[in-house]
Amino acid sequence: MAQHIVCLTFDFDVMSGHIARGMTTPTPISRGEFGVVGAGRILPLLQAQDIPSTWFIPGFTIETYPDVCAQVVDGGHEIGHHGWTHVQPALLEREQEESELVRANDTIERLCGKRARGYRSPAWDLSPHTLALLLQHGFFYESSMMGHDYSPYRARQGDVIELQKPMLFGAETRLIEMPISWSQDDHPHFEMTGHRPGHRNANSVLENWIDDFVYMTRCTDWGVITYTCHPYVIGRGHRMLMLERFINKLQALGAEFMTMERAARLYDERSPFNA
């Protein structure tokens, strides 16, 4: 029986990403603050449509807006790990990265009573140590890489990469990769960053996102596609209307919405590690 799964995910960064880049003047802080407004619009939409989702929340956000984050938990949504400060792991020493990993997971456990099973790195920029740390700390899946579009896979360790030599691939690990794509992320389409203008027409993004799902139904009987949204981006009025139309269209096309952890567990049942 065919099964086409959609993981609708939200990176609830608020202003943490701006702070991580040193953007602490009032205007960039207020850009992130709008994420609370956006979350207040997204959560009722998901509830009305009975859509489970996964929210990757930095520890900073949980401690800054505990009541809003509690509403995410109360809505039945999965809480994933998204760092503590939103500094990308590639910029941290191993000890710093592990400290942030532990600190944020302690914060998540206080919020929802259990530690995160999934991890998504800030800015999708893993360090050479990230995968080993995730395995050491018992994570089940990771969602920062782009090696497929419609299928989870096992993350590798130990790749050997040298400029003048063919790449040598390392061994697969038990850690499940739930792949993502910049094209299925709202931020590059809609937000100004540096000299990039952003602010594309929402309907053109909607068409692309729907077509990505349609193509999955044509090329595989079982697949998972992930879409990434940020409340301070998708929460603007015309984009909320786009999100509503997007959900309705995917439902009409037979999409099955589920949390990322549940989708990862289905993949694990279909393709057990070392089977």
Domain around 216: 3-270
Question: How much is the pLDDT for 195?
Answer: 66
Question: How much is the pLDDT for 228?
Answer: 98
pTM (two decimals): 0.96
- 110 pLDDT exceeds 80? yes
- Using CA atoms, how far residue 96 sits from 175, 181, 194, in Å, is 22, 27, 27
- What's the pLDDT tens digit per position in 5-48? 999 999 999 999 999 999 999 999 999 999 999 999 999 999 99
Question: How much is the pLDDT for 192?
Answer: 74
**Residue 275 is assigned to a structural domain of this protein:** no
- Average pLDDT of the chain is 96
**Residue 22 is assigned to a structural domain of this protein:** yes
**Residue 207 is assigned to a structural domain of this protein:** yes
Q: Between 274 and 14, name the one with better pLDDT.
A: 14
61: closest CA among 52, 50, 74, 70? Answer: 70
CATH of the domain at 202: 3.20.20.370
**Residue 108 is assigned to a structural domain of this protein:** yes
Mean pLDDT on 51-67:
98
**Residue 55 is assigned to a structural domain of this protein:** yes
Question: How much is the pLDDT for 99?
Answer: 97
Mean pLDDT on 79-91:
96
Q: How far apart are CA 224 and CA 258, in angstroms?
A: 10
**Residue 246 is assigned to a structural domain of this protein:** yes
Mean pLDDT on 98-126:
97
Q: To 5 degrees, how large is the angle CA 273–CA 153–CA 147?
A: 155
- What's the pLDDT tens digit per position in 186-216? 999 998 776 667 789 999 999 999 999 999 9
- 251 pLDDT exceeds 70? yes
- What's the pLDDT tens digit per position in 118-146? 999 999 999 999 999 999 999 999 999 99
- Using CA atoms, how far residue 154 sits from 112, 147, 239, 255, 272, in Å, is 27, 10, 34, 24, 10
Q: How far apart are CA 159 and CA 270, in angstroms?
A: 26
**Residue 219 is assigned to a structural domain of this protein:** yes
User: Could you give the number of structural domains in the chain?
Assistant: 1
Question: How much is the pLDDT for 198?
Answer: 72
**Residue 104 is assigned to a structural domain of this protein:** yes
Q: Between 254 and 199, name the one with better pLDDT.
A: 254
Identify whether the C-beta of residue 118 lies closer than 8 Å to the C-beta of residue 143.
Answer: yes
- 262 pLDDT exceeds 60? yes
